[in-house]
Amino acid sequence: MRLEEHPLRARVLAEVHARPFTPVKTPRRFLHYAFLIDGEAAAADREALEAYCAGLGLPGPVPGAKQHRVVFSGAILRWESHSEFTTYTWEYGDALGVAFQPQPDALEGVMDGVPRPGPLLVAVDLHLLPAVDGGMPGEVSAALNVASLALAEAEGGAAVIGTDFQPDPHGYVRIVVADRRLSRLAAGALVQRLLEIETYRTLALLGLPEAQSLAPAIRRIETALPPLMEAMRTSEGFAENHALLDRLIALAAELEAGAARSLFRFGATRAYDELIRLRLASLGEQALPGQTSWSVFLARRYNPAIRTCVAAGERQDTLSRKLSRAAQMLRTRVDIELERQNQAQLQSMNDRVRLQIRLQQTVEGLSVAAITYYVASLTHLVLEGAHQAGLPVDATIGTAVAVPLILLGVGWTVRRIRRLHAEPAGR
């Protein structure tokens, strides 16, 4: 019996193999680029790479692939597609044996055949070289800025890694790996982790300008909130409470607009920071005497920026909760005031209805009296006429006897008419 597979099973199983480590042989040089993209740019980038490979008679990426490797004469291109960026990594072989020679501008022309998918964010020049006397080649010290140099052993002492995290005159961040005894697979894994650390470091720091731009607005809201809360303690009446509520809603709207704008960026910063910590932990880093390790350098120079982003997000969350509670309290107070006004209006309406009923009853009573008087007058005229005609009728006594009957009849008729008019409204 054939088992029915979940439609996403193949995609889930392939995810752990999406970006495998590629074995590399020392010496090697890598030019690594990362470009920011959106959904449309990602599709255009894939199509451009397919066209580029087809123009050279080489296979392009298969549909749905997140990475692709193209082997040229003297170079290898590794392309990777991520959620918000695309990377191109060019690998050069044995002929390049001197650190950072030739200059990157002599090599970066290979990117001319591939359309830029978006703005460039990361450019790394990484050189994997044999260790000299167990350490870095002498020309590396001259190429890197000693004031910001981060140097440490990696892979249990099988390599020495160094960088100054600063762009060179060509705009590339230089990284050197001195190979003591790395296997080809370990060298490939180490190179990929170092490139990822620099890529994720730059992407994580995109949240810092966002946090700095939001800081004045957050501070202004933090400053405006305590006086509003104090005013809530003494505010009375619907108009005053409603004005305070409007001010709170305006502050909340400003805060939520900034939070919505920064939500993705701050979330991405936290995610990239976690990836950097995982990559640093996987390096097997060991500090060298008198040198600053990568972890220590990033803890001193990079972590404060991440904490700024995290703190901005936490301040937004805290302010949002405080504004929500304050607005809820004011809404409750405004609702209570509205209920009081509604009760007063209903009471006034009830009073008016009762007055109208009394007036109606008075009018009905006067109407009954007037109609009774009119009918009694007619009866008296009829009885007088009968007496004049010779009938034994006393008009005065007859009228006196007829008045109570007329009054009862008119009253019953008016009441009947009122009931007939009231029944449809009751239904």
What pLDDT, on the 0 to 100 scale, is given for residue 108? 62
Least reliable range by pLDDT among 47-51, 161-165, 195-199: 47-51
pLDDT bin (cut points 50, 70, 90) of residue 373 is confident
pLDDT above 90 coverage of the chain, percent: 25
- A 10 A CB-CB count for 241 gives 23
Highest mean pLDDT among 126-135, 246-255, 409-418: 246-255
Query: What is the average per-residue pLDDT within 205-227?
Result: 91
Length reported for the chain: 427
Reply yes or no on whether the pLDDT at 297 is more than 70.
yes
The encoded tokens of residue 127 equal: 């050189």
pLDDT at 304 over 50: yes
pLDDT of residue 426: 47
296-305: Cβ within 8 A, 24+ apart: 296/150, 297/148, 297/150, 297/165, 298/150, 298/201, 301/148, 301/165, 302/201, 302/204, 302/205, 305/205, 305/208
Residue 314's pLDDT is what?
92
Phi, psi (deg, nearest 5) at residue 120 = -75, 130
* The pLDDT of residue 184: 92
Confidence of residue 38 (pLDDT cuts 50, 70, 90): confident
Task: Work out the pLDDT band at 291, boundaries 50, 70, 90.
Answer: confident
Report the sign of the C-alpha dihedral through residues 226, 227, 230, 231, in that order: negative
Give the residue carrying structure tokens 């003297």. Answer: 74
Give the mean model confidence (pLDDT) for residues 414-420. 76
- Reply yes or no on whether the pLDDT at 27 is more than 70: yes
For residue range 346-370, what is the model confidence (pLDDT) as tens digits? 888 888 888 887 777 677 777 778 8
Higher pLDDT pick, 380 / 297: 297
Specify the pLDDT at position 424.
56
Residue 81 has pLDDT above 80, yes or no: yes
Decide: 200 and 39 in contact? Cβ < 8 Å: no
For residue 224, pLDDT beyond 70: yes
Predicted structure pTM score: 0.75
pLDDT at 312 over 70: yes
